[in-house]
Amino acid sequence: MEVLFGILLLAVCVGAVYVLTSKDKIDTNKDGKVDGEELKAAAQPLVEKVVEKVEEAAKPLDLNQDGKVDLADAKEAVKRGKAKAKAKVEEVKTEVKKRTGRKPSTKA
């Protein structure tokens, strides 16, 4: 989910920059304003890219490959994510011990 949120946030930021820097291109009727239809037309390519990226990011979450991310898929993805995170923590602890000769502190 963090990946999807990140992609959407990036898309919003890119979209805002695009609108601010390309007003003349978006204002197709040259009235000095960007109306809803002009904005919608200008945003369409960006929306298509965002949808493409979201679909791409969701593919690894669709564990049963049915084209949908259901609750079972999401639970398994979280479980796998936790396992990866735990493994990474252990890896870091091992590296700390190797470099310092001491067991790492567990205090936050």
| CB count in 10 Å sphere of residue 50 | 19
CA neighbours within 13 Å on the CB side: how many for 64? Answer: 10
pLDDT digits (tens, 9 = 90+) for 15-71: 666 666 566 777 888 888 878 888 788 878 878 888 888 888 888 888 888 888 888
Domain residue spans in the chain? 1-61, 65-108
Rg (CA), the chain: 22
DSSP for residue 35: -
* Reported pTM: 0.42
